[in-house]
Amino acid sequence: KKNLLLKLKGKENVTKSGKKINIYANIGSVGDMGYVLENDAGGIGLFRSEFLYIGRNELPTEEEQFQAYKQAVQNMAGKKVIIRTLDIGADKQADYLNLEKEENPALGYRAIRICLSQPEIFKVQLRALFRASVYGTLSIMYPMITSVEEVMRIKEIVKEVKAELKASDTPYKDVEEGIMIETPAAAMISDELAELVDFFSIGTNDLTQYTLAIDRQNEKLEEFYNPHHKAILKMIKMVVDNAHAAGKWAGICGELGADTELTETFVNMGVDELSVAPSMILKLRKIVREME
Ligand code: PEP
Ligand code: MG
């Protein structure tokens, strides 16, 4: 069976009637790159940058981050690498950040909220990302967005970072910048958000958690955690339609993107990209190629 899938390497993700979809990989560190290449990913759709920040005693330096991002884009040799900015807090902790213990960490101080209230931390990462951009095709993605105002503040900070790089004659490229749609708020205003960004990537893990009011970490609730809920599928459709109406693309990088029961539904909805665990890439390619 595995050999049959391997025959699909180098082939397109295209239906019998010619509809194409990008199938990218989710990775947690540069160490996963081998699997990405082995499974013929079209790109990296979600590079969780948290690994650089977790399990250590201090913030990673700009240079350290630059080296990791540069290696990632170089390994992908021109294929797209979408790096998500720091998504720490909630289930992912780093002691040196001195984050207070919270009653509801999933609804708390996390991800972009930390980056916007501590821009000195955010800017180090952005500098590293923009410096790495000249070595390949890098895109930046911002997590846990809920409002237009957040996107506007990100844009201001990015502008400052670019001005600083320019002033020090440091080379960088303008890159594609997108946001994760993983809160119901972002889904509901995705028409407005689509005007402001280059792409959407739907984080169905958190989107399901926040829409169904079910803690994704709570095993007792597993039978109630239903990402096939109509509310989720309707939101995905809405987000994709709003992206397209503004001429932007939309993908899915949560676990649901790898759900083979829904691949056909997603292709029919016009989802432009599925970003999944490397081991799922060729399985999804097979399903897409067998679709009418
Ligand atoms: C998601 O929420 O669907 C997602 C991809 O991000 P993470 O699982 O890292 O929260
Ligand atoms: Mg998430």
For 137, list phi and psi in degrees, rounded to 5: -110, 95
The ligand 1 atom nearest the CA atom of 204: 3
Give the distance (Å) from ligand 1 centre to CA of residue 12: 26
CA of 254, nearest ligand number: 1
User: Does the beta carbon of 182 lie inside 6 Å of ligand 1?
Assistant: yes
User: Residue range 213-217: average pLDDT?
Assistant: 93
Decide if pLDDT at 1 tops 70: no
Give the distance (Å) from ligand 1 centre to CA of residue 238: 19
Residue with tokens 């410096």: 131
pLDDT level of residue 258 (50, 70, 90 thresholds): very high
Quote the CA–CA distance of 276 and 110 in Å, as a whole number.
23
- Would you say 206 is a known binding-site residue? yes
The ligand 1 atom nearest the CA atom of 206: 2
User: Does the beta carbon of 265 lie inside 6 Å of ligand 1?
Assistant: no
CA of 252, nearest ligand number: 1
User: Residue range 14-34: average pLDDT?
Assistant: 95
Decide if pLDDT at 4 tops 90: no
pLDDT digits (tens, 9 = 90+) for 120-172: 999 999 999 999 999 999 999 999 999 999 999 999 999 999 999 999 999 99
By CB neighbour count within 10 A (0-12 exposed, 13-18 middle, 19+ buried), where does 209 fall?
Answer: buried
pLDDT digits (tens, 9 = 90+) for 87-133: 998 777 888 888 888 999 999 999 999 999 999 999 999 999 999 99
Residue closest by Cα to atom 1 of ligand 1: 203
Decide if pLDDT at 47 tops 70: yes
Q: Would you tell me how many other CB atoms lie within 10 Å of the CB of residue 196?
A: 16
Please list the active-site residues.
253
Instruction: ipTM value, please give it.
Output: 0.99
pLDDT level of residue 189 (50, 70, 90 thresholds): very high
**DSSP category for residue 246:** T
The ligand 1 atom nearest the CA atom of 203: 3
User: Residue range 59-87: average pLDDT?
Assistant: 97
Quote the CA–CA distance of 62 and 45 in Å, as a whole number.
22
Quote the CA–CA distance of 111 and 90 in Å, as a whole number.
9
pLDDT level of residue 285 (50, 70, 90 thresholds): very high
User: Does the beta carbon of 253 lie inside 6 Å of ligand 1?
Assistant: yes
Give the distance (Å) from ligand 1 centre to CA of residue 136: 25
- Would you say 216 is a known binding-site residue? yes
Q: Would you tell me how many other CB atoms lie within 10 Å of the CB of residue 185?
A: 14
Q: Please indicate, yes or no, whether the overall pTM of this predicted structure exceeds 0.95.
A: yes
Three-state SS string across 157-221, please?
Answer: HHHHHHHHHHHCCCCCCCCEEEEEECCHHHHHCHHHHHHHCCEEEECHHHHHHHHHCCCCCCHHH
Quote the CA–CA distance of 103 and 94 in Å, as a whole number.
17
**Pocket of ligand 1, candidates 26, 44, 48: which has the most ligand atoms within 8 Å of its Cβ, to mutate?**
48
